[in-house]
Amino acid sequence: MLCILSSSVLSAQLDSTFVETFGERSRINGGIRYRDNSAVFSVNDREELTLTNRGLALRIGGRYRWIGYTFSIPISDLGTGSELGDAKSLGANIQFYRNTFYLNANVRRTIGFERDSPDRAPEFREDIRFLNALLFGFRILNSKRFSLRSSFRLRNRQLRSAGSWLVGGAVARQVIKADSLELPLREAGTSVIDRFSQTKIGTGVGYAYTFIFGKYWFATPLLIAGPEIRFIAFDPLGTEREVERLRLSARVRGRISVGANGIRNYIALSASYLPSADNSDAFDTRVDEVQIELRIGHRIGVKD
C-alpha cells in the first residue's frame, strides 16, 4: 500500500474541462448516517447465531479556512437496544480523498449485541465486545480527468463523464470477545469460546466511473476486488487457543454515490458495503459493515 501511495504525495493537475475546482475555504454541511455492524456464525449455509448492532446518527460539519470538523449525534439504535438493552459504540474514522489516491483508516469498538438463534428467544448480551479495524486505500490512475472526491466529498465538481482504474489494498482486524459464546461447529455439536479473531491482508484492482446527467446530477459506482489472505484463531473455554490454517479467498468491496453537485449547494446519498464472508474449519462467519449517508451542504463565498 505504501508503494501505491508513495508516488501520490504531490496532487496531479486536474483537467479543468473535466473537473471544476472551487476556491472557497469555508462550507457548512449536515446529514444523516446509517450504520450496520453485524456478525453471523453459520454451518452449511444455515444461520445459527446472529449478533446485530445498528445505529442512526445526525451529522453536522463544515470547514473554516484549513480546519474541517464533523460532529455525530446518535438518534436511534433502530431496535437493537430499545427493548432488550443499550449498546455502546465508540469509533474513529479518518479519510483522505486526494486527487491521486484514497485512504481510509477506520476503527470501532462496540459493546453489547442482540443474540438471536433459531433454538432460543432473542437476548441482549452486554458482555459481547466487537473490535473492527480497517486500513483501506487505492491509487486513482486517471486522476487528471476523474475526481473521486467530487462524488463522495463534493469538494470538486465533475463536469464530464469519466472513469478510472483503481489499484490498492487493505489490512483488517476483527476481534470478538465474550464471557462465553456458544458457536455451532461444522462436524457436530457446539463449542463455547471467549475470543474469536481474524486478520486479513489483501490487494485489489477495480474501476470507478462518474455518469453526469444534465448540468448538476451525477452517479458514481465503484467496485474493487482481489485476493485476500486470512489468519483465524479462537479460544475455547478451558483449552488452548486454536489457530486455523492459512486461507486465501476473494474479496469484493463496493461504494456508490448519487446526487446533485451545484456551484454553491449540493446533496448526495452515498453508500459503502464492505462484506466479509469467510469459511473456516469449524464454522462460517460473515461480518458486514454497511454505511449509508445523506449529505447536504453549502459553499460559502463561491461566485456564480
Give the CA radius of gyration of the chain.
Answer: 21
Task: Give the three cell numbers for residue 193.
Answer: 469460546
Q: Is the pLDDT of residue 284 over 50?
A: yes
User: Average of pLDDT values for 255-265?
Assistant: 92
pLDDT more than 70, % of the chain: 81
* Residue 11 DSSP class: P
What pLDDT is recorded for position 196? 86
**pLDDT of 145:** 93
Residues whose CB falls within 8 Å of the CB of residue 61, separated by 6 or more in sequence, listed in order: 28, 29, 30, 68, 69, 70, 71
Task: State pTM to two decimals.
Answer: 0.78
Please state, in angstroms and rounded to a whole number, the distance separating the CA atoms of residues 286 and 93: 22
Kindly tell me if the per-residue pLDDT of 22 is higher than 70: yes
Confidence band of 10 (pLDDT split at 50, 70, 90): very low
pLDDT at position 44 over 80: no
Question: pLDDT (tens digit, 9 = 90+) per residue, 224-238?
Answer: 999 999 888 888 887
Arithmetic mean of pLDDT over the chain: 81
> pLDDT at position 282, please?
67
